[in-house]
Each structure stands twice: as structure tokens, then as C-alpha cells.
Amino acid sequence: DGGITQSPKYLFRKEGQNVTLSCEQNLNHDAMYWYRQDPGQGLRLIYYSQIVNDFQKGDIAEGYSVSREKKESFPLTVTSAQKNPTAFYLCASSPLRGGSYEQYFGPGTRLTVT
Amino acid sequence: AQTVTQSQPEMSVQEAETVTLSCTYDTSESDYYLFWYKQPPSRQMILVIRQEAYKQQNATENRFSVNFQKAAKSFSLKISDSQLGDAAMYFCYLLDSNYQLIWGAGTKLIIKP
């Protein structure tokens, strides 16, 4: 089955620790995205990548880092510099050719930092 | 700067009735795409409907249709014969030809049985 996987579904960390959220897609999409969603709020873009080994900051990149070493994978690291990391994180991918451009989303990771 | 505005934080509708969710946007681009996504309590984001700006015909997907008014920069979503499973957050989303993307803040739709 084609799709996007995020793991784990729930993640708990102590304050001061870095944590990496996984995102893998087998849809052969060029673009991948990371979003943060707080309770009752919309999606805020953290980082996105349109090609391997290249990525751009979104609206709230401070305290986060990403890599794109493979087309299929776009992990997000939440660093200790992120002041309020507890949130729901969504990964998405989309084609950049073919006229569709819709984003396909993973199931999300709920991160709790105490 | 591009913006997407959903002016209704919450809407409610009686089951089997019709409801319209509003979305207005601002962009200087002439070529762009508009989308409505649904996020049910499971939090999985699901594409509802897509509209290409160059197409004059309004998109339709079963009970879901849009009223796309390009000159007015309006992109409302109409849900006919509302069902309990339609209860969700609905997000409007714009993608322009430079791959700039803007999400609306969302509208919570409540279905009354």
C-alpha cells in the first residue's frame, strides 16, 4: 500500500532532550512537509523540502531541524531549543508535477515533553 | 502577503441539511490551486475537494461542492445532506505557482442528530 508513515504515534520525552520524529513515504513524491498543530488550532509549517539534500524553513522553524538524505524520508528533530515542543506533528508529501499537488498526510505523532 | 481567511471558527448543522463553509483568500498570483481538507477526531487529514484557479467550473465530489468566485477571491465549501461522519475541522488551503502554501485557521463543523 502506498502512503506515509509516521512513527511513533505517541512520544514522551524529558525537557532538555532532543527527539527525532520519523516520516517515510513510498508515493515517489518530490516534496515533503512538516507541520505543527496545537489543540484547536490550524497547521503551521515548520520545514519543507522539494528535492533531496535541500530544504527550506517554514513559518516556525526555530528549535527544529530536518534532513532529506533520501527521497522517501524526511525526519524532524525537535531540539532542546524549542521552548514549547509539546504538540501534534504532521508530516505530508506531495507531487510537484502532474497537476495534482495535493498533500498526502501521515497519521501524526503526538509529542509530550515534561 | 498571501492570506487565507476562514471567518467561521465553528458551524453547526442539522443532520441531512446543507451547510456552507466560507473561505476567502488573497494572492497576487494568477495561477494557483485551492483545496479543502477535513480533519475528523482521529486527526487524520483527508482531502475533500480541489479546485484549479484556471478552471471556471466549480469542483464537485459527491455531496461536496465548491463555489469558486475568482474575482471575489472566495472559495466556499457546500456540504449537502450532512451526515454525522462529516463532523470535523475543515481547512482551506492555497498553493500558488511558486509552491507557496497558506492554510486557513479552520472551521469546526458540528452535526446535530
| pLDDT tens digits for range A79-89 | 988 989 999 99
A53: left (phi over 0), alpha (psi -120 to 50) or beta: left
Tell me which residue has cell 513524491. Answer: A29
What residues of A are in the B interface, CB distance below 8 Å? 31, 37, 41-43, 45, 50, 88, 90, 92, 96, 99-105, 107-108
Q: Measured on CA atoms in the order A86, A78, A5, A57, is the torsion positive or negative?
A: positive
pLDDT at A49: 97
Report CB contact under 8 Å: A41, B106.
yes
Average pLDDT over residues B64-85: 97
Low-confidence ranges of chain A (pLDDT < 50): none
**Strand B64-69 to B19-21 pairing:** unpaired
Cβ burial of A83 (10 Å; 0-12, 13-18, 19+) is exposed
Q: Which three cell numbers stand for residue B99?
A: 509552491
pLDDT at A1: 61
Report CB contact under 8 Å: B43, A108.
yes
Helix then strand then coil, % of chain B, to nearest 5: 5, 55, 45
Whether B17 shows a pLDDT value over 80: the answer reads: yes
Cβ burial of B55 (10 Å; 0-12, 13-18, 19+) is exposed
Contacts of B33 in chain A (CB under 8 A): 101
**Which residues have C-beta within 8 Å of that of residue A74, sequence separation ≥ 6?**
A23, A25, A32, A33, A34, A49, A55, A66, A67, A68, A91, A93
Q: Which three cell numbers stand for residue B109?
A: 463543523
Amino acid at A16: G
Cβ burial of B8 (10 Å; 0-12, 13-18, 19+) is middle
For residue B103, give the nearest of A42, A96, A99 by CB distance. A42
pLDDT at B1: 76
DSSP B65: E
Q: What's the pLDDT band for B2 if we cut at 50, 70, 90?
A: confident
Whether B110 shows a pLDDT value over 70: the answer reads: yes
Mean pLDDT over all residues of chain B? Answer: 95
